[in-house]
């Protein structure tokens, strides 16, 4: 951040400048902006403070306004980079699963492509539980998780909400059950079954498929399942089908599709999750990220028509 911007943001009017800049980030060139009275009520500050904030943003070239009398004030030009520099939270940070499949690579590429006019960075971490907690704490502004994980978090009282839903197949193709014994037909009593505490999806699906059976749960990461099966550490485990076909040699392992009783579309559906009540981020993200463009770019990466970039 430039020294002058830094100094202003930590003065009394800095919070108003930051709030106003965040609001303007969610708008487009040519948009009509609300009157000063609206921002007075929204930010709970005086008319003069709002006017000073607008003046500051215009002076640094973050926004140019055109006044049309009784028709209102319109955005004549805007610089997203300078607007973002004027926010206390200068960089948008997202977090999603480790990109170990083409679907995840495609999704990451789509987000980067659509947020390319902003200062943005993505982190990658396994386990929806941790990613959701990082959004709720404000460490990250959004997370990519499955619809099931998001719905579970919301039902559990987490202070988060779903911003965008990208439909079945956008998170992964499907999950499957892998068995060490090629002659086995499914889960049997006495089996050692992989169980990932950090993965809401894997743990829930595992609970579904073992229902009615007496098994030993072995706590390990989902990505370690294939190696654990080959190493005779476990007898069965739920895996991401995309990861298996792209990154593993199954050998004699048996792969079984899951029944509708044990599996539904929510596990394969990607959503973007944000902290509840962040209306400016919500407006900005909705403007920049669309379901249509995300799925188009994701499909191009999966089909080799676009190099992944993230």
Nearest to 128 by CA among 205, 68, 76, 191: 205
How many angstroms separate the first and last alpha carbons of the chain? 24
pLDDT of 2 reads 47
Give the phi and the psi of residue 37 in degrees, each rounded to 5: -60, -35
The token pair at 128 is 């929806």
pLDDT of 80 reads 82
Angle (CA) 158 163 164, round 5°: 130
Q: Quickly list DSSP for 234-295.
A: -SEEEEEHHHHHHH---TT-EEEEPPTTT--GGGGEEEEEEETT-HHHHHHHHHH--HHHHH
- Tens-digit pLDDT string for the chain (310 aa): 444 444 444 455 788 888 888 888 878 888 899 999 999 988 888 999 999 999 999 999 999 999 888 888 999 998 888 888 887 666 788 999 999 899 999 999 999 999 988 878 899 998 899 999 999 998 889 999 999 999 999 999 999 999 999 999 999 999 999 999 999 999 999 999 999 998 999 999 999 999 999 999 999 999 899 999 999 999 999 999 999 999 888 999 999 999 988 999 999 999 999 999 888 788 889 989 999 999 999 999 999 999 999 8
Q: Quickly list DSSP for 72-87.
A: -EEEEEE-HHHHHHTS
Look at residue 44 and give its three-state secondary structure: coil
H helix runs in 77-230, sequence order: 80-85, 102-114, 128-136, 147-155, 200-209, 225-230
pLDDT of 3 reads 47
pLDDT of 89 reads 61
Contact criterion met (CB below 8 Å) for 50 and 41: no
In order of their start, the domains of the chain are 3-85 (1.10.10.10), 92-170+267-302 (3.40.190.10), 175-262 (3.40.190.10)
Contact criterion met (CB below 8 Å) for 271 and 162: yes
pLDDT of 1 reads 45
Residue appearing with tokens 């590429």 = 109
Angle (CA) 251 256 257, round 5°: 135
pLDDT of 198 reads 87
Please tell me the distance from the alpha carbon of residue 225 to that of residue 246, in angstroms, as a whole number.
15
pLDDT of 88 reads 62
């Amino acid at each position: 951040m430039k020294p002058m911007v830094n100094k202003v943001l930590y003065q009394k009017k800095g919070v108003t400048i930051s709030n106003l800049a965040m609001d303007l980030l969610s708008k487009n060139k040519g948009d009509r902006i609300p009157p000063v009275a609206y921002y007075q009520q929204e930010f709970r500050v005086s008319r003069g403070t709002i006017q000073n904030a607008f003046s500051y943003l215009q002076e640094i070239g973050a926004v140019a306004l055109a006044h049309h009398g009784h028709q209102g004030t319109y955005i004549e030009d805007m610089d997203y980079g300078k607007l973002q520099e004027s926010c206390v939270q200068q960089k948008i940070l997202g977090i999603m699963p480790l990109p170990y499949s083409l679907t995840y690579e495609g999704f990451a590429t789509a987000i980067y492509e659509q947020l390319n006019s902003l200062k943005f960075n993505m982190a990658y971490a396994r386990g929806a539980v941790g990613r959701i907690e990082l959004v709720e704490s404000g460490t990250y502004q959004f997370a990519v998780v499955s619809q099931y994980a998001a719905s579970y978090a919301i039902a559990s009282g987490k202070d988060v909400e779903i911003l965008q839903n990208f439909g079945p197949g956008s998170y992964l193709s499907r999950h499957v059950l892998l068995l060490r014994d090629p002659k086995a037909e499914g889960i049997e009593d006495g089996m050692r079954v992989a169980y990932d505490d950090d993965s809401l999806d894997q743990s829930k699906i595992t609970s579904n498929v073992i229902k009615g059976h007496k098994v030993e749960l072995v706590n390990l990461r989902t990505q370690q399942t294939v190696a654990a099966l080959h190493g005779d550490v476990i007898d069965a485990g739920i895996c991401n089908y995309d990861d298996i076909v792209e990154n593993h040699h199954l050998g004699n392992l048996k792969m079984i599709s899951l029944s509708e009783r044990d599996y539904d579309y929510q596990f394969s559906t990607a959503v973007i999750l944000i902290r509840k009540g962040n209306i400016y981020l919500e407006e900005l993200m909705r403007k920049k990220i669309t379901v249509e463009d995300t799925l188009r770019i994701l499909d191009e990466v999966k089909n080799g028509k676009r190099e992944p970039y993230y």
